[in-house]
Homo-oligomer: A and B are copies of this chain.
């Protein structure tokens, strides 16, 4: 949104690939990996951050280790799809900490949520708050994750050819 789209050469892609896996990598090592000096790497990283290509630098916390062991998917179907009501739903979902991810999708469902809770009781309380007390929710389907096979936000990086 900030910048429409910036040019990404193979250096940028190589740097992104590294930082996507571990952004604590010293710039010196990144530089060696991509055949660039540390300052050059530093400048490129800054540019990528300003352009929004790098949206954030975060630590990934293992939910199970902090007592939030249950991952749940919810497909939500709404009654009315007016822009106003959709925005209200988006805002409410976004503001809920247990909602890790929320997508507005096509197809039989309207929203897909990924939720993290400590116990099923917590989830039940959450459904009451988010769905049952919301007049615009027609129905919702719950899937409980038995195994988090692969979890990440890593983006496949290919050539910079824009879509």
Contacts and interface: CB of A to CB of B under 8 A. Distances in A.
Contact of A156 (B24, B57, B68, B119): B68
- The listed residue with most B CB atoms (<10 A of its CB), out of A21, A60, A93, is A60
A108 B153 CA distance: 25
Given A101-B151, A141-B107, A22 B56 contact: yes
Interface in A106-123: 106-109, 111-112, 116, 118-119
Nearest to A57: B24
Contact of A22 (B53, B58, B70, B94): B58
A51 B58 CA distance: 18
A61 B54 contact: yes
A146 to B, nearest CB: 5
Interface residues of A, number: 75
A145 B104 contact: yes
A66 B157 CA distance: 7
A52 B63 CA distance: 10
Nearest to A5: B65
Interface string A68-110: 1111010000000000000000100110011111111111110
A66 to B, nearest CB: 6
Nearest first, the 8 A-B pairs at minimum CB distance are A19-B59, A104-B147, A97-B156, A102-B149, A105-B143, A102-B150, A23-B59, A53-B65
